[in-house]
Chains A and B, each alone.
Chain A
Amino acid sequence: QKEVEQDPGPLSVPEGAIVSLNCTYSNSAFQYFMWYRQYSRKGPELLMYTYSSGNKEDGRFTAQVDKSSKYISLFIRDSQPSDSATYLCATTTTTNSGGSNYKLTFGKGTLLTVNP
């Protein structure tokens, strides 16, 4: 079983739609959960990050983590053509002492297209 599973899509929606992007993970030790956005011919950029379970909202974006079901979601409200990109979920464990236990584990990414 892969550590982080993410449907690669592609996902195509009309402008203004609510978009739901999801990942599942297998390692119950994962504590930090991130969403990265990667535009074509660019490197990934951090969009949102959450610690443990719960919701986090930033403008039109909401990140949700359910540790009991090992499920990570990103919701985009009022989607815009400029949201068209690949969205990567990522997660990590951490130790207070740092060191080699820290590594970001990524999903494959979901390619999203928002059509005007």
Chain B
Amino acid sequence: ETGVTQTPRHLVMGMTNKKSLKCEQHLGHNAMYWYKQSAKKPLELMFVYNFKEQTENNSVPSRFSPECPNSSHLFLHLHTLQPEDSALYLCASSQDYGRGGTDTQYFGPGTRLTVL
């Protein structure tokens, strides 16, 4: 596997379910990100982890819970979601965090989430 991988690629869940999204980067990067991409809206940054420590929480509701056990893996735990949470959830990584435009972010293919 190369680059940034995400599983599952598609997920349908009910509002009472608990599920997790997984992201793995094979690039040796130190920073990892979760983004939400909704139709007709800009990409929204959700969380940033740098060296396994959370450095950004962009006012995300607590029904989204991130976990970063090491620099290569990132999870997004989901519980009691709402239909408006249906979107494409993208994971990204970069060599470092906080150096502005010089930190190229590499994106995974995303998980298409549908909440019924």
Measured CB to CB, the residues of A under 8 A from B are 2, 4, 6, 8, 31-34, 41-46, 49, 51, 88, 90, 92-95, 97-100, 102-109
The distance in angstroms between the C-alpha atoms of A50 and B4, with both chains bound, is 24
Known: A42-B109, A44-B107. A31 touches B4 (CB 8 A): no
> What's the count of A-B pairs with C-beta under 8 Å?
74
> Interface digits, B33-68 against A, CB 8 Å rule (1 contact, 0 not)?
000000011110100000000011010000000000
Q: Are B109 and A43 in contact (CB under 8 A)?
A: yes
Q: Are B40 and A92 in contact (CB under 8 A)?
A: no
> Interface digits, B95-116 against A, CB 8 Å rule (1 contact, 0 not)?
0111111111111111000000
B92: which A residues are within 8 A, CB to CB? 43
Contact partner, A8, options B40, B43, B109, Cβ 8 Å: B40
The distance in angstroms between the C-alpha atoms of A16 and B103, with both chains bound, is 33
The distance in angstroms between the C-alpha atoms of A43 and B40, with both chains bound, is 16
Interface residues of B, CB < 8 Å — how many?
Answer: 26
The distance in angstroms between the C-alpha atoms of A95 and B45, with both chains bound, is 19
Q: Are A44 and B101 in contact (CB under 8 A)?
A: no
Tell me the dominant secondary structure on chain A's binding face.
loop
Is residue B90 within 8 Å, beta carbon to beta carbon, of the partner chain? yes
Q: Are A100 and B55 in contact (CB under 8 A)?
A: yes
Contact partner, A43, options B56, B96, B102, B110, Cβ 8 Å: B110
The distance in angstroms between the C-alpha atoms of A56 and B99, with both chains bound, is 21
Q: Are A43 and B107 in contact (CB under 8 A)?
A: yes
Q: Are A103 and B56 in contact (CB under 8 A)?
A: yes
Q: Are A99 and B100 in contact (CB under 8 A)?
A: no
A4, A93, A98, A100: residue with the most chain B Cβ atoms closer than 10 Å: A98
The distance in angstroms between the C-alpha atoms of A46 and B92, with both chains bound, is 12
The distance in angstroms between the C-alpha atoms of A105 and B105, with both chains bound, is 13
A33: which B residues are within 8 A, CB to CB? 101
The distance in angstroms between the C-alpha atoms of A37 and B65, with both chains bound, is 29
Closest to A49 in B: B101
Q: Are A31 and B104 in contact (CB under 8 A)?
A: no
